[in-house]
Amino acid sequence: MTAPLTELADVIRSKNSGPYELTLDIIFTAQEQYDLVKRQRSIHRALVAELYQVPVDDVSEPIFYDPAKAVKINLRRPLVSGNVGECDVYGAQQHGPLLAMRLPTP
């Protein structure tokens, strides 16, 4: 059984990780859900690359942070922050593709 990420996480956000990278954060509501995602590696580079339609090499390995029930993923920005044509200097509006993610549930 799976459920939308929006039902499993309290926080789904993006932000700058410098001018060349974005950080995606997911903070889960329930410890049991976080543990399952971590154990099964349900969030991985290929999945994020597919959601963002970027090469896998542009996505870092997810970092699981147990005290916060959180997963952090960094990815290369398509355009340098503040560059001509770049429309989200702070990277705060880049979490949208994560909202389509479905994950297994306990």
Q: What is the pLDDT of residues 71-98, one digit of tens each?
A: 999 999 888 888 887 878 888 889 999 9
Return the minimum-mean-pLDDT range out of 8-17, 77-86, 95-104.
Answer: 77-86
Measured distance CA(103)–CA(93) in Å, rounded? 22
Is 90 exceeded by the pLDDT of residue 52?
yes
Whether 14 contacts 66, CB under 8 Å: no
Q: What is the pLDDT of residue 62?
A: 98
Higher pLDDT, 90 or 44: 44
| Predicted TM-score (pTM) above 0.85 | yes
